[in-house]
Chains A and B, each alone.
Chain A
Amino acid sequence: DAGVTQSPTHLIKTRGQHVTLRCSPISGHKSVSWYQQVLGQGPQFIFQYYEKEERGRGNFPDRFSARQFPNYSSELNVNALLLGDSALYLCASSTPTGNTEAFFGQGTRLTVV
């Protein structure tokens, strides 16, 4: 079975631009969460989506938004990019009930110049 897949793997953007990151969860997983990992730090929670609804939001500005589609894939959007948005963006999926383990994708490395 395919794991959590994220695209693109690497991305370079200029300050002020917009970026869209994509995530496909493991088949059967309806919950998707997004994390930002700055170099040398642990991942920071951004959003959680379950059944296409936002279920949780971390301490991130409104420039960050996300959505989940009927097939449970998800997009993370970041507007007006800042240099400080450079990070590894991780997507994690989990089952809706029972096993609460979260499986992470390989991440998208975003560099803002």
Chain B
Amino acid sequence: GESVGLHLPTLSVQEGDNSIINCAYSNSASDYFIWYKQESGKGPQFIIDIRSNMDKRQGQRVTVLLNKTVKHLSLQIAATQPGDSAVYFCAENLSGSARQLTFGSGTQLTVLP
């Protein structure tokens, strides 16, 4: 079946460096994408979203890029901090609503001192 997946299960970066987390999606009909951060023992926390009519969106220290041609999504975190250590999930939705999301398996980001 179609699903959202991630290229790498783990990523380690030095504090202060930039992080890039990648995600591949297979459903070309998906029109809304969200990145979530999940810390141990907590629920997913919204980071940033993007609609399929955009190819880039920026937030505070984060940027999401969407390449519809190759069905690829990435999350860039600038000046990575220890508090950024968590599991990051990309999620997609077909209807343009955040209410029925399909999640990938996640990438564990570890920030090294």
State the A residues within 8 Å of B (CB). 4, 31, 33, 35, 40-45, 48, 50, 55-56, 58, 90, 92, 94, 100-107
Q: Does B25 count as interface, using CB distance less than 8 angstroms?
A: no
10 closest Cβ pairs, A-B complex = A42-B103, A104-B43, A102-B98, A100-B98, A56-B100, A104-B44, A43-B103, A106-B43, A48-B99, A100-B97
User: Once the chains bind, are A105 and B43 in contact (CB under 8 Å)?
Assistant: yes
A90 to chain B, nearest CB (A): 5
State the B residues within 8 Å of A (CB). 4, 32, 34, 36, 41-46, 49, 89, 91, 96-106
With A55-B99, A100-B32 known, 12 other A-B pairs at CB within 8 A are: A33-B100, A42-B106, A50-B99, A56-B99, A100-B99, A101-B49, A102-B34, A102-B46, A102-B101, A104-B43, A104-B44, A107-B43
User: Once the chains bind, are A94 and B42 in contact (CB under 8 Å)?
Assistant: no
Q: How far is the CA of A100 from the CA of B91 in the complex (A)?
A: 13
User: Once the chains bind, are B43 and A42 in contact (CB under 8 Å)?
Assistant: no
Chain A neighbourhood of B101, CB < 8 A = 33, 35, 43, 45, 102
A32 to chain B, nearest CB (A): 9
Some 12 contacts from A to B, beta carbons below 8 A apart, are: A4-B43, A42-B91, A42-B105, A45-B102, A94-B97, A101-B34, A102-B34, A102-B46, A103-B46, A104-B45, A106-B42, A106-B43
Chain A neighbourhood of B102, CB < 8 A = 45
Chain B neighbourhood of A104, CB < 8 A = 36, 43-45
User: Once the chains bind, are A101 and B44 in contact (CB under 8 Å)?
Assistant: no
Given A90-B43, A100-B32, A105-B43, check contact A31 B99 (CB 8 Å): yes
User: Once the chains bind, are B99 and A41 in contact (CB under 8 Å)?
Assistant: no
- Majority DSSP secondary structure for residues of B touching A: loop
Q: How far is the CA of A35 from the CA of B101 in the complex (A)?
A: 9
A22 to chain B, nearest CB (A): 15
Q: How far is the CA of A44 from the CA of B42 in the complex (A)?
A: 16
Q: How far is the CA of A44 from the CA of B106 in the complex (A)?
A: 12
Chain A neighbourhood of B45, CB < 8 A = 104
Q: How far is the CA of A6 from the CA of B43 in the complex (A)?
A: 11
